[in-house]
Amino acid sequence: MAESAARKVDRIDSGPAFTQADADALNARFAGVPVPEMLRTLFAEETLGRVGVVSSFGTEAVVLLHLVARADKSVPIIFVDTLKMFEETLAYREEVIELLGFTNASVVQPNPDLLVQKDETGMRWSYDPDGCCEIRKVEPMQRAKAGLDSWISGRKAFQSHTRQNLPRFEIEEGRMKLNPLGDWTKDDLEAYFEEHDLPRHPLEAKGYPSVGCSPCTSTVLPGEDPRAGRWRGWDKTECGIHSPNNPDNKDGDLPPGYEPVF
């Protein structure tokens, strides 16, 4: 197995080159394998090549981060700071990174020139939330992922009807995308929080089961979808980071010359 993992790394060092067959093989291999064991094996064998964790440091993020930290604290942790985040989220990120002992935590932000061109008033969220997400979250994330062969997402199927039937491994733009908690339930998460005494996002107790940017996140009423407070009033359920069919640049005129953060 170590030999095949080494071949995989050699193959993708020249750039992302995973195929659906690779994802199918990993889904079959790790079907039913507990997440901690799966992560330890993947990191030890370097099966995923250059891998990073994408975390919003939302209300459930610490569960995945704790699992990753127990497997390998050197795995890069990417946080996209849209410059519209809640202050509570920024403080929570610092707390979690220090608590779990990650050694390679990075922050990527929107390109300032692009903000001047596309959102000079800082109010694009109020009339074009898709465009706002594109320049403040999707584009920075594309730069961050440029240095990765695989990335790890904290998505769970129960969060929204748009996230049902998540596979553990999927292909996105030639990269391997891993959803370790895809089949976890809310009860599974709560049990993990309790077992490991993990810190809660400070906004959760105030009625925010899902936290994104402050202008586009509202409280959720009992019985609503946990993500009902995201972009309330708009026909929008995702920022675009998890939309594989999104082009890298919908606006068509992003400044060239971006460098990956890793």
pLDDT tens column, 146-166: 889 999 998 886 644 444 568
pLDDT band at 254; cut points 50, 70, 90: very low
Instruction: Kindly give, in sequence order, each residue whose CB lies less than 8 Å from that of residue 32, ignoring residues fewer than 6 positions away.
Output: none
Q: Record the pTM.
A: 0.80
Nearest to 29 by CA among 16, 10, 55, 48: 48
Which token pair is 91?
A: 């403080």
* Location of structure tokens 């659906």: 20
Q: Give the span between the Cα atoms of 163 and 156, in whole angstroms.
A: 7
Q: Which residues contact 57 (CB under 8 A, 6 or more apart)?
A: 79, 89, 92, 93, 96, 201
Q: Hey, CA dihedral for 180, 51, 5, 11, is it positive or negative? A: positive
Return the higher-pLDDT residue of 176 and 221: 176
Domain ranges of the chain: 2-216
239 in catalytic set: yes
pLDDT at 236: 58
Task: Kindly report, residue by residue over 72-106, the tens digit of the pLDDT.
Answer: 999 999 999 999 999 999 999 999 999 999 999 99
pLDDT at position 138: 93
For residues 205-211, average pLDDT? 90
In the chain, the percentage of residues whose pLDDT exceeds 90 is 64
Using DSSP bridges, classify how beta strands 175-178 and 169-172 pair: parallel, antiparallel or unpaired.
antiparallel
* pLDDT tops 50 at residue 231: yes
Backbone torsion region of residue 83, taken as left when φ is above 0, otherwise alpha when ψ lies between -120 and 50, otherwise beta: left
- Give the helix/strand (H/E) hosting 11: helix 2-12
Rounded alpha-carbon distances, angstroms, from residue 135 to 70, 76, 82, 143: 34, 23, 9, 12
Query: Tokens 């064991």, residue?
Result: 37
In this prediction, residue 261 has a pLDDT band, given cuts at 50, 70 and 90, of very low
Which one is catalytic: 133, 213, 216, 239?
239
Distances in whole angstroms, Cα of residue 194 to Cα of each of 38, 190, 199 = 22, 6, 10
Q: Closest Cα partner for 152 from 124, 127, 182? A: 182
Residue 130 vs residues 96, 135, 138, 237: alpha-carbon distances, Å: 29, 9, 10, 10
More confident residue, 9 or 175: 175
Per CATH, which fold does 2-216 belong to? Answer: Rossmann fold (3.40.50)
Give, in order, the Cα–Cα distances in Å from 73 to each of 58, 77, 154, 216. Answer: 20, 9, 17, 32
Yes or no: say if 177 and 150 are a contact pair by the CB < 8 Å rule. Answer: yes
Averaged pLDDT of the chain: 83
Q: What are the tokens at 82?
A: 């849209």
pLDDT of residue 156: 81
Higher pLDDT, 258 or 55: 55
Among 7-21, 57-71, 175-189, 227-241, the minimum mean pLDDT is found in 7-21
Rounded to an integer, what distance in angstroms lies between the CA atom of residue 53 and that of residue 33? 20
Under the banding of pLDDT at 50, 70 and 90, the label for residue 175 is: very high
